[in-house]
Amino acid sequence: MQFYRQTAGSHEIWFNPEANRYTTIPNHSGDMPEGTLRAILKQAGIQPDDFLNKS
């Protein structure tokens, strides 16, 4: 994924060229809830296993 732009507030928009999709990601301090992460991965077209196995 590639950083696309900052939004007004504490979110960023990222672009996945492989899936040709834009994804909004919150940029807050602290841990992200698992459900939020899963929703972001789904929106980005990334399988959770692929995300976890990426080094």
Q: What CATH number does residue 20 fall under? A: 3.30.920.30
Q: How many domains does the chain have?
A: 1
Instruction: Give dist(CA 24, CA 35) in Å, integer.
Output: 15
**What share of the chain in percent tops pLDDT 70?**
98
Instruction: Return the higher-pLDDT residue of 44 and 13.
Output: 13
Given pLDDT bands bounded at 50, 70 and 90, which one contains residue 44? Answer: confident
Supply the range of the domain harboring residue 48. 2-53
**What share of the chain in percent tops pLDDT 90?**
36
Written as six digits, the tokens of 51 are 């995300």
Instruction: Give dist(CA 44, CA 37) in Å, integer.
Output: 10
Query: Rg of the chain over CA atoms, in angstroms?
Result: 11
